[in-house]
Amino acid sequence: MEAMIHIEVAYALPAEQVLLALEVAENTTAEGAIQASGILKKFPDIDLTTSKIGIFGKHIKMDTVLRNKDRVEIYRPLIADPKEVRRQRAAEGKVMKKGGGDVEVA
């Protein structure tokens, strides 16, 4: 009898988060777990050829062998570049601090 491990497969959209608990064979890869979870049927827009995946926030390859209690996370592409967003916020903050706005002093 083959040893089994408990894992989770996670995927999140802005309005919905899915966390599926599975029991898989001990030598299962991340890709095998994703396939076995059925998540690709629920979310056909997931493309494993381009999607990045990870375990608890650390990027891994599809052929990574899972360990007991791993959580495989399927990541979506970023809509905005975080560095650019920070730059924009910093620029807006500097403009606001310099001007003082249209504040009337009585």
Q: What is the pLDDT of residues 32-88, one digit of tens each?
A: 999 999 999 999 999 999 999 999 999 999 999 999 999 999 998 766 677 777 887
Query: Looking at residue 91, what is its pLDDT?
Result: 79
All structural domains of the chain with their residue ranges: 4-79
CA distance 106 to 97: 21
Element (H, E) at 86: helix 82-99
∠ CA 51-52-53, nearest 5°, is 120
| pLDDT tens figures, 20-36 | 999 999 999 999 999 99
CA distance 35 to 40: 7
The CATH homologous superfamily to which domain 4-79 belongs is RnfH-like (3.10.20.280)
Query: Looking at residue 102, what is its pLDDT?
Result: 54
Q: How many other CB atoms sit within 10 Å of the CB of residue 3?
A: 8
pTM equals 0.72
